[in-house]
Amino acid sequence: MMKSSRYMLRKICILCIAVLMMAFGAALYFQAGLGSDPVSTLCDGLYRTLGIARGTASMIINGGIFFVFLWIDRRFISLGSVFAAFGVGPFITLFEKVFDVFLPDNGLSLPVRLLLPILGSAAIAFGRALYLPCECGAAPLDMIVLSVGRKSGWPYRISFSVVSGSIFALGLLFHGAWGLGTIVAIFLTGWIADFYMQRWNVSLKRFVGIQEERV
């Protein structure tokens, strides 16, 4: 019982770190002002075309994905799904306020603006690579990515790029805003996350007790 509680505490700690890292990375994207992730492009497109507020559009998209996976494949829905879906947003706002003070966007040079989306991708990928191996649920986007990977046999990096690219294309149909940061998010985030996971996947599983549970 004590061992089980210890492993659960470790999972929660990892989830908290992952949420912070993903929020930090997203805030870097916004601060650069060069476009954000493909889901945000779709939300912006729904806002421009249908008049749906971006926040409402985000909740509709995330809620829709949750509902679909509750019906077709519940293995991806758990504590981590809630953390990733609803915990990132408030911390993005917090980091944006911090960056406005210490990293104001009106004082950023072009090289710094170009660097921020790359750093943002690395931070988001780090967060994803932390919580996904712990098998405690997935964010809505990762539910689709993992499902595509299972059915196609593609590695995470390929599945992520394909899914992100498809969402981006849908966002373009609705005339959503995008930029260099969006392209970086599509092609870099999944590759960095895959790089991390290949190196610490087994260690993380052992750390949260998954290996022992299956023995």
Residue-wise pLDDT for 151-197, tens only, equals 999 999 999 999 999 999 999 999 988 998 899 999 999 999 999 99
With a cut of 70, list the residues of the chain below it in pLDDT: 1-3, 211-215
Task: Answer whether 143's CB lies under 8 Å from 69's CB.
Answer: yes
Number of independent structural domains in the chain: 1
**For residue 39, what are the domain limits?**
2-214
Q: Helix and strand tally (H, E) in the chain?
A: 10, 0
What pLDDT, on the 0 to 100 scale, is given for residue 86?
A: 76
What pLDDT, on the 0 to 100 scale, is given for residue 2?
A: 58
Torsions phi, psi of 37, nearest 5? -75, 165
The per-residue b/e assignment along 139-152, b for 16 or more CB within 10 angstroms, e otherwise, is bbbbbbbbbbbeee
For 27, the enclosing helix (H) or strand (E) is helix 2-32
What pLDDT, on the 0 to 100 scale, is given for residue 144?
A: 94
